[in-house]
Amino acid sequence: MLIDGENLTIEDVIKVARRKEKVEIDKKVYEKVAESRKTIEKILEKGKPIYGVNTGFGELANVRISSDKIEKLQENLIRSHACGVGEALPEEIVRAIILLRLNSLAKGFSGVRYEIIEKLAEILNKNFYPYVPSQGSVGASGDLVMLSHIALCLIGEGKAIYNGKIMPSKKIFDVLGIKPIKLKAKEGLALINGSQFMTAIACLSLYDAINLIKNAQIAGVMSLEALKGTDQAFREEISLARPYKGQIKVSKNLWKLTRNSKIILSHSRIQDAYSLRCMPQVFGAMYEALDFIKKILEIEINSATDNPLIFGNEVISGGNFHGEPIAIALDLLNIVLTKICVFSERRVARLLDEKLSELPAFLAKEPGINSGLMILQYVSASLTSENKSMAYPASVDSIPTSANQEDYQSMGSIAANKSIKILKNAEKVIAIEYIVATQALDFLDLEPSPASKKAHDFIRKYVDKIDEDRALYEEIEKISKFVHDGSILKEVEKVVGKLE
């Protein structure tokens, strides 16, 4: 994958983060990077103050640093800021962070030597996995803490993970044939000033959210059929009368998913409950939000986000490190993921309520002696409630830092960490709807649509029909993994084509 600072896509982030695709630096990057480096060196020769290069940081910006201590300043910056806490980030997130920092520096506005960019590419290509704690960023002067743990490894300090064990990074460098780098003026600051932690998580979470919402539509159609609902609310004329792109897209998906359903053809209900009838409107609104988030991320991943930045012969201090755009986008993503859960749980509740479903109570073959799938709705309700408690926007909060020099924070890092948990919960909620809808369809004599049948048959390979009560916790986890990796979606798309 060619890295040029300009053309990275979210799909590229997934390829490098999860599939470990190799990266190569575009030849045109060298000239841009070399020019900005020359500017830094020329200004230093003249003795002019440059923030974070020959001055202190944050509130200490007015403290001048002598030329013989400039390199020490960069090392001290990394060491002092590498103070994260909490569990280590998964490898895919750390790889995404490194890729995004590499792409940002490749734009040529940061004043680093080309060797820094080469080193970031090298550790990616050799699958070096820095130990990066998950907590400690306030998302404004960049994700300083997380990025500092990566930078600490580059200078041969800190820790990394190898074969599942946490070890000194220098030891793993020796194994992988990587040499530590000596930081020069500006380079420590350039490595840690940016929103790459929260943006990395946002890219991965958005990719998974798009996959999840497609799964949710399949599960929703299975529920609709099991409840003997109508497909008429999915007609394109309705959505064209309120022409949101997301709603039109969902209507097309749902129409495809319900084609040739003998269950739907056998009944003529006028209209269904909102959780069924309003799928185009609700899922459509979610698509609109996801499109907005995607637009934000596509800009962010190709941006220069450190401070100061170099333009021609000038070094200008600004605030591109501030995570506000990503913080708001992540908060919106968390709301969307939570609403997917709320929507799904209501359909599950209908399927299990004999008064609403016209099916056996809790889909048990012998209700009473068997509880059937009663408690699956409890679990879905629990996960949904947990997500609701986490969906409150993190970006509405701010706590000043650095003696009030940095007096307004984005807290996007908090939204990022929440999105990891919210997404996992949401995948389990949809897995539960898949299992419940599959059980419900088994009580009907007529064939569902080919799309629903494909999903039903796939799930039945891993979840046997529940004729007598048994523990289902392992099967919920199993189906949630298939939701996450897209296995069910791929099977259904073989029948109906790509969902939009």
Q: Which domain holds residue 341?
A: 201-496
Query: Both 169 and 242 in a single domain?
Result: no
Cα–Cα distance, 121 to 127 (Å, whole number): 10
Q: What is the pLDDT of residue 51?
A: 83
Q: Which residues pair with 310 in a beta bridge?
A: 315
Same domain, 100 and 235: no
Specify the number of domains making up the chain.
2
Give the count of beta carbons closer than 10 Å to the beta carbon of residue 325: 18
Residues 157 and 226 in one domain: no
> 44 φ, ψ to 5°?
-65, -40
With tokens 């013989």, the residue in question is: 68
DSSP string computed for 32-67? HHHHHHHHHHHHHHHT---TTTSB-SGGGGGSB--G
Residue type, 455: A
CB 198 within 8 A of CB 138: no
d(CA 58, CA 264) in angstroms, rounded, equals 64
pLDDT of residue 323: 96
Report yes or no: 158 and 130 within 8 Å, Cβ to Cβ: yes
User: 260 and 339: one domain?
Assistant: yes
Residues 238 and 360 both lie in one domain: yes
Write down the number of H helices and E strands in the chain: 21, 8
The confidence score (pLDDT) of residue 56 equals 81
CB 286 within 8 Å of CB 336: yes
Question: Would you state the structure tokens that stand for residue 20, as one six-digit string?
Answer: 């470990």
Which residue out of 51, 114, 287, 434 is catalytically annotated? 51
Looking at 194, 229, 260, which one is the last position of a domain? 194
Residues 164 and 306 in one domain: no
Q: Which of 194, 220, 254 is the last residue of a domain?
A: 194
CA distance 240 to 248: 7
Domain boundary among 170, 194, 218: 194
Q: Give the model's pLDDT for residue 46.
A: 85
Rounded Cα distance between 469 and 450, Å, is: 29
- 365: domain CATH number is 1.20.200.10
How many whole angstroms separate alpha carbon 448 and alpha carbon 442? 10
Residues 253, 189, single domain; the answer is no
Q: Are residues 166 and 267 in the same domain?
A: no
Distance between CA atoms of residues 69 and 183, nearest Å: 12
- 471 burial (CB, 10 Å; 0-12 / 13-18 / 19+) is exposed
Known catalytic residue at 51: yes
pLDDT block averages, 10 residues each, the chain of length 500: 97 98 97 95 87 80 84 93 97 98 97 97 98 96 94 97 97 98 94 96 98 98 98 97 98 98 92 97 98 98 95 92 97 98 98 97 96 98 98 96 89 97 98 98 97 98 97 98 98 97
**Residues 356, 235 share a domain:** yes
**pLDDT at residue number 168:** 98
Radius of gyration of the chain from its Cα atoms, rounded to whole angstroms: 26
Which residues have C-beta within 8 Å of that of residue 445, sequence separation ≥ 6? none
Residues in the chain: 500
Q: Quick one: 127 and 239 in the same domain?
A: no
Asked if residue 13 lies in contact with residue 100, where contact means CB atoms within 8 angstroms, the answer is yes
CA dist., res. 105 & res. 193, Å (int): 11
The phi, psi pair for 343, rounded to 5°, reads: -65, -45
Residue whose structure tokens are 């991965």: 204
Q: Which residues lie across from 309 on neighbouring strands?
A: 316
* 235-244, long-range: CB < 8 A, 24+ apart: 238/280, 239/280, 239/284, 242/281, 244/284, 244/285, 244/288
| Ordered DSSP codes for 364-427 | -SSBTTB-TTHHHHHHHHHHHHHHHHH-S-GGG----BTTTTB-----HHHHHHHHHHHHHHHH
Residues 371 and 422 in one domain: yes
CATH number assigned to the domain comprising residue 151:
1.10.275.10
Same domain, 309 and 389: yes
How far apart CA 416 and CA 418 sit, in angstroms, is: 5
SS3 171: helix
